[in-house]
Amino acid sequence: MSKLAVIDIGTNSIHMVLAEILPDAGFKILDRFKDITRLGNGVFSTRRLSEEAMTRALEVLKTLVTLARNKGFERIIAVATSAVREAQNGGDFVAFIMEQTGLRVRVISGTEEARLIFLGVKHSIALPDGPTLVVDIGGGSVELIVGNREGLIHGKSLKLGAIRLAEQFLPQAPPSESMLYALHDAVLTHLRDAIGSFRMKKFHSLVATSGMAGNLGEVAHLRQTGRPLPQHNLATVSLKDIRSLETELARSSVKARLTIPGLDPKRVDTLLPTAVILRRLLELSDLSEITLCDKAIREGVIYDFIVRHREGLKAENDIPDVRRRNVIGLARRCQAPEVHSLHVADLALSLFDQTKREHRLGQQERTWLEYAAILHDVGYLINPRQHHKHAYYLIKHSDLSGLAAEEIDMVANIARYHRRALPSLKHEAFDCLAPRLRRVVKILASLLRIADALDRTHFSLVQAVNVRFRKQITIEVHLTGDAEMELWAAKSRADLFEQIFHRPVQFSGVLPETEPS
């Protein structure tokens, strides 16, 4: 199965999800990690990420990257949102992350953030035909999205994040009347303008994502029932409960807020702006409750990755071994005849296994032979004439991840000698190999030459081969039809094989009806 780690570097917190991508193009979350780093503290007034916040965030990122890689998650996607994109030193921070962890962070726009959030929501909640309003309240921005089961209709990013509002309007707790008035006025103005710009003004429902809304839902549920919220996804919070909590938060000191059951202490200053935003959205939309969704940008990144890499992920699922997958990928990019190439590989490996007591080569050499067989015809992409030489060039200069440079040299040389000239010290690429490796190329090329010849017509007429060693070598060729062309080609390509094994070779065709019962 394919593995993907997604890291979301937000204004308020850093999240990581570890996901296993499934064959049906879905995914399963294996683990989640979160640290409220408050990276965006002070950034909206100073326009700079503080040294302290960057150091704190970097330590968290180092831990998460190490954890992901230790669990086998080599593919990591990292995105950063409003705090980093608005900070004048955001680029320096991203470069520093790359230098310290090797992690490439993509700083996304507000529009892209809205798109990814909606992707996460759309695949988590059964949206109706009519428009749904989705809100994600982050630390620096609020993403306001309109969509339905068909897809996203509108998306806006507003500078109304809970940390931003707390810093700008709520310097003390409890806030003064004038502070609250300024907060309410700013929120109402921005939200009314945003909704006014949408084509539709009536919404089927309001869906709220993010940890801010989730914590508000936890507090409201505890106040109503005395029990923890059993599940965030699809839980609802009424306008009445939001108004009640907003009133209590607005009247409370920090110390008093910390006694509220369920309130996350790290959100003690951001839950009030969150309540104000949600209340205003419900009032403007003429709705009576919000529906919580526990999927957002991180899940959206996963779905986006799956859509963009569907073919590659299918290949990963079909061919789990990265080396073999990259070899087959090169063959496909070069439009090599895949059925023929794989059939030749099967015949070559069968010859290898049955001659092992003579050549005494091991698993590594067997793998080189398989890869060379799969790639032996890639040179046709350049020109059928001398395609064996073109195959050498393409293999040598392609990015075959997972193969060492010496292994690529070996595969390229073996493929180069699948036809025409025999290995010779006159050929620079062969001469450059160590004597031991030159011997290996000769042995494996001798097997590949015969295997390729035994599928001369590309009709897979040769079902299997059986090698018998006596004074001469007999290769019994089990056929499914008339294969005179294959037998003729195999005899003409047996020269190197006879040199290597110091015996003449005879080919014997066996048709199904003549086989012993």
Q: Is the pLDDT of residue 517 over 70?
A: no
8 Å CB contact between 480 and 500: no
Q: Is the pLDDT of residue 313 over 70?
A: no
Neighbours of 133 (CB within 10 A): 25
Compute the average pLDDT of residues 198-208: 89
Q: Which residue has the higher pLDDT, 310 or 510?
A: 510
The residues, any chain, with a CB within 8 Å of residue 499's CB and separated by 6 or more, are 422, 442, 446
What domains are defined for the chain? 1-108+297-318 (3.30.420.40), 125-294 (3.30.420.150), 319-514 (1.10.3210.10)
Q: Which residue has the higher pLDDT, 399 or 61?
A: 61
Q: Is the pLDDT of residue 389 over 60?
A: yes
Compute the average pLDDT of residues 111-123: 91
Q: Which residue has the higher pLDDT, 319 or 354?
A: 354
Name the most confidently modeled range: 112-126, 192-206, 435-449.
435-449
Q: Is the pLDDT of residue 141 over 80?
A: yes
**What whole-number distance in Å separates Cα of residue 362 and Cα of residue 288?**
71
**What whole-number distance in Å separates Cα of residue 335 and Cα of residue 378?**
7
Q: For residue range 451-460, list pLDDT tens digits in order.
A: 999 999 999 9
**What whole-number distance in Å separates Cα of residue 194 and Cα of residue 190?**
6
Which residues are paired to 106 by β-bridges? 79
Looking at the chain, the whole-number percentage of residues with pLDDT higher than 70 is 97
Q: Is the pLDDT of residue 136 over 70?
A: yes
How would residue 201 be classed by pLDDT, with cut points 50, 70 and 90?
confident
Question: Token pair for residue 260?
Answer: 């509220």
Neighbours of 366 (CB within 10 A): 15
How would residue 4 be classed by pLDDT, with cut points 50, 70 and 90?
very high
Residue 316 pLDDT? 67
**What whole-number distance in Å separates Cα of residue 478 and Cα of residue 517?**
14
The residues, any chain, with a CB within 8 Å of residue 436's CB and separated by 6 or more, are none
**What is the DSSP secondary-structure string of 147-166?**
EETTEEEEEEEES--HHHHH
Start-to-end CA span in the chain (Å) = 43
- Indicate the pTM of the whole model: 0.66
**Selection from 342, 399, 413, 351 nearest residue 373 by Cα:** 342
Q: Is the pLDDT of residue 321 over 90?
A: no
**What whole-number distance in Å separates Cα of residue 295 and Cα of residue 123?**
8
Q: For residue range 271-311, list pLDDT tens digits in order.
A: 999 999 999 999 999 999 999 998 889 999 998 988 887 77
The owner of tokens 């309130």 is 263
Looking at the chain, the whole-number percentage of residues with pLDDT higher than 90 is 79
Which residues are paired to 462 by β-bridges? 479
Residue 302 pLDDT? 92
Q: Is the pLDDT of residue 515 over 70?
A: no
Q: Which of 295-309, 347-361, 406-420 has the lowest mean pLDDT?
A: 295-309
Residue 482 pLDDT? 86
Compute the average pLDDT of residues 161-188: 95
Q: Is the pLDDT of residue 511 over 90?
A: no
**What whole-number distance in Å separates Cα of residue 464 and Cα of residue 17?**
48
Question: Token pair for residue 221?
Answer: 């549920």
Question: What's 421's DSSP letter?
Answer: S
The residues, any chain, with a CB within 8 Å of residue 504's CB and separated by 6 or more, are 472, 473, 498
How far from 194 is each of 119, 145, 189, 291, 499, CA to CA, in Å?
Answer: 20, 10, 9, 20, 81
- Which amino acid makes up residue 49? L
Question: Token pair for residue 158?
Answer: 């507003």
**Selection from 403, 380, 401, 404 nearest residue 393 by Cα:** 380
Residue 514 pLDDT? 47
Q: Which of 203-207, 257-261, 289-293, 513-517 has the lowest mean pLDDT?
A: 513-517
How would residue 516 be classed by pLDDT, with cut points 50, 70 and 90?
very low
Compute the average pLDDT of residues 388-400: 93
